[in-house]
């Protein structure tokens, strides 16, 4: 028989005399859902994002993003029709912007898996308002990242050779190559992240499904003219069928919740090692070589810390504007921003430590080639890129030590932009400086991207934005049940209040708003 909180306190072992004299002061905790918002308010606020008429700013942003994404399409079309020579690659810089952009986008997605999986296992409740958008960001970043190595092979129609598929010529990939490890690591990472993201949305799809009737009635009655009315009838039927399929027959029963939580926990455990393994394997692309500046054992933890650093920078870049546009200040509170700033500060400090250790190891190892590689980074022909990297990645995050900075959302957003810029320059510095000045001085050169490089890269930001805009327009931005568990303790299915019986029947007794199926809007 379960004990109430008061009964549990009475059966606990008595405190030692020393502890009785200690009166620790508990720090005030900022609420994760402000103003004591009700379940009804949370449901309406989150669901209204996908139910109301598409705002004008969304159409403007979508149009600009789609036009920007067309740059990538045109650049890749020109690349395939003409050849890889349209990129700025030369000898010895045979890796250029393509690999830089690949590592950059893979790193962007790491915060989503960290927030969703690791913080879930660590029972960090502040993740609930941002995990859904961070998961979406992970998947879209992997899509953008996959473009570059796919077309970097030159003959993209032979890219399927990267997979160990049976063929008549018995041609197999080189399994000892880190580039081949990338194929398996990134494909596994993308697949598991997509499953994790989709499964977490099933209860919320059911909530939107059950609200479709009232939304359809309201939109059809507000239609002006026969054509708009006919369009609304067809569109609302499509919405109902779509969310019915996506909700996978969810009814909110006890069995459904039990199976859902178990599957979510298992997928979180499966995603956790991927956070560490994927960027570790990406770092092996460099660390497994013998090139000075690359051949170092610090790369795996250095790359993982940098990936989390850049990922949280992108989460702040995306969530702060959404918070303002949709009025989500009660759900994405200052506590969320504070925690994300602190993680950005911590990982940025780790990255700065790694920069210092690279110089120390190069000096301590007494390898003249290694020493020259790092001195050349800081004071050579690419020194401008190195100091941009240092300024953005090491200096700018240190402002997060100050509470006044963390409380200024506009300033936090600007710093997050600097983080994104700095992490791209980090990948550029690592890739290009070591290749441009290798062992043979007679082959040294200067790498510069072409317009095809530039347009292809910036077009991926348009592709990323298109996917993210579609996500916030048609899919639930936050996990309803998890956010409600923070607004009131009774919203948590594992809550045990004073009256044990009532705490378990609370879900059934909570009134259902705007739809008829009981147990979904919990």
- Mean pLDDT along residues 270-291: 85
pLDDT of residue 517: 40
Please tell me the distance from the alpha carbon of residue 446 to that of residue 438, in angstroms, as a whole number: 12
Residue 492: the pLDDT is 53
At residue 14, the pLDDT reads 66
Residue whose structure tokens are 């159409």 = 59
Q: How high is the mean pLDDT of the chain?
A: 83
Q: Tell me the two tokens of residue 100.
A: 């830089």
CB 113 within 8 Å of CB 289: no
| pLDDT for position 66 | 95
Across 16-22, average pLDDT: 66
Query: pLDDT by residue (tens digit) across 164-199?
Result: 887 777 778 778 888 888 888 888 888 888 988 998
Cβ burial of 255 (10 Å; 0-12, 13-18, 19+) is: exposed
pLDDT digits (tens, 9 = 90+) for 380-394: 888 999 999 999 999
Distance CA 86, CA 96 (A): 12
Q: Across residues 331-360, what is the average pLDDT? A: 91
* Phi-psi label, residue 386: left if phi above 0, alpha if psi -120 to 50, beta otherwise: alpha
Domains plus CATH for the chain?
Answer: 31-164+172-517 (1.20.1630.10)
State yes or no: pLDDT of 396 exceeds 90: yes
Looking at residue 518, its pLDDT comes to 38
Choose from 17-31, 73-87, 496-510 the range with maximum mean pLDDT: 73-87
Confidence of residue 52 (pLDDT cuts 50, 70, 90): confident
Mean pLDDT of 255-265: 90
Flag whether pLDDT at 513 surpasses 90. Answer: no
Residue 443 pLDDT: 79
Res 122 pLDDT > 80: yes
Between 109 and 521, the higher pLDDT residue = 109
Q: Is pLDDT above 70 for 488?
A: no
Q: Tokens at residue 320, please? A: 């702060």
Hey, what's the torsion of the CAs at 153, 158, 164, 169, to 10 degrees?
Answer: -130
Give me the percent of the chain exceeding a pLDDT of 70: 88
Question: pTM for this structure?
Answer: 0.84
**For 415, phi and psi rounded to 5 degrees?**
-65, -35
d(CA 406, CA 404): 6
298 by Cβ neighbours in 10 Å (0-12 / 13-18 / 19+) ranks as: middle
Close Cβ partners of 176 (under 8 Å, ≥ 6 residues apart): none
Burial class (CB in 10 A: 0-12, 13-18, 19+), 474: middle
Own/partner long-range contacts of 446-453 (Cβ < 8 Å, ≥24 apart): 446/381, 447/88, 447/89, 447/90, 447/93, 447/96, 448/88, 449/87, 449/88, 449/96, 449/97, 450/86, 450/87, 450/88, 452/75, 452/78, 452/79, 452/86, 452/87, 453/87, 453/88, 453/96, 453/97, 453/98
């Amino acid at each position: 028989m379960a004990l109430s909180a008061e009964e549990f306190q009475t059966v606990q072992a008595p405190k030692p005399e020393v502890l009785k004299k200690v009166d620790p002061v508990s720090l005030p905790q900022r609420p994760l859902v402000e103003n004591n918002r009700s379940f009804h308010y949370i449901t309406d606020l989150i669901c209204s994002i996908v139910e109301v008429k598409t705002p004008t700013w969304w159409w403007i942003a979508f149009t600009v993003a789609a036009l920007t994404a067309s740059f990538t399409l045109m650049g890749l079309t020109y690349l395939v029709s003409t050849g890889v020579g349209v990129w700025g690659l030369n000898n010895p810089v045979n890796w250029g912007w393509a690999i830089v952009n690949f590592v950059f986008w893979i790193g962007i997605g790491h915060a989503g898996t960290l927030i969703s999986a690791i913080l879930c296992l660590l029972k960090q409740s502040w993740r609930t308002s941002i995990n859904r958008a961070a998961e979406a960001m992970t998947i879209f970043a992997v899509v953008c990242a996959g473009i570059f190595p796919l077309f970097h092979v030159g003959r993209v129609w032979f890219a399927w050779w990267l997979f160990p598929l049976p063929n008549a010529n018995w041609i197999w990939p080189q399994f000892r190559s880190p580039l081949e490890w990338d194929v398996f690591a990134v494909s596994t990472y993308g697949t598991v992240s997509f499953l994790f993201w989709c499964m977490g949305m099933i209860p919320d799809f059911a909530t939107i499904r059950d609200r479709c009737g009232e939304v359809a009635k309201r939109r059809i009655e507000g239609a002006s003219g026969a054509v708009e009315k006919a369009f609304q009838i067809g569109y609302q039927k499509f919405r109902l069928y779509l969310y019915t399929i996506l909700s996978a027959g969810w009814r909110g029963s006890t069995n459904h919740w039990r199976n859902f939580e178990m599957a979510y926990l298992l997928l979180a455990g499966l995603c956790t090692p991927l956070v560490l393994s994927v960027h570790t394997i990406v770092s092996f692309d460099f660390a497994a070589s013998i090139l000075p500046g690359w051949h170092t054992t610090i790369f795996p933890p250095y790359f993982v810390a940098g990936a989390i650093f850049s990922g949280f920078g992108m989460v702040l870049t995306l969530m702060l504007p959404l918070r303002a546009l949709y009025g989500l200040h009660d759900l994405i509170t200052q506590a969320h921003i504070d925690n994300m700033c602190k993680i950005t500060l911590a990982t940025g400090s780790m990255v700065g430590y790694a920069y210092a250790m690279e110089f120390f190891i190069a000096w301590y190892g007494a390898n003249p080639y290694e020493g020259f590689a790092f001195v050349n980074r800081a004071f050579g022909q690419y020194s401008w890129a190195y100091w941009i990297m240092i300024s953005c990645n090491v200096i700018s995050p240190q402002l997060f030590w100050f509470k006044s900075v963390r409380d200024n959302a506009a300033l936090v957003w600007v710093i997050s932009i600097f983080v994104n810029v700095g992490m791209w320059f980090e990948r550029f510095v690592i890739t290009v400086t070591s290749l441009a000045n290798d062992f043979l001085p007679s082959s040294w050169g200067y790498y510069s991207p072409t317009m095809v490089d530039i347009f292809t890269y910036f077009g991926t930001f348009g592709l990323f934005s298109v996917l993210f805009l579609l996500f916030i327009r048609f899919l639930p931005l936050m996990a309803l049940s998890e956010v409600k568990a923070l607004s009131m303790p009774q919203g948590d299915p594992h809550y045990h209040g004073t009256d044990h019986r009532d705490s378990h029947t609370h879900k059934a007794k909570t009134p259902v708003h705007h739809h008829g199926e009981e147990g979904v809007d919990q």
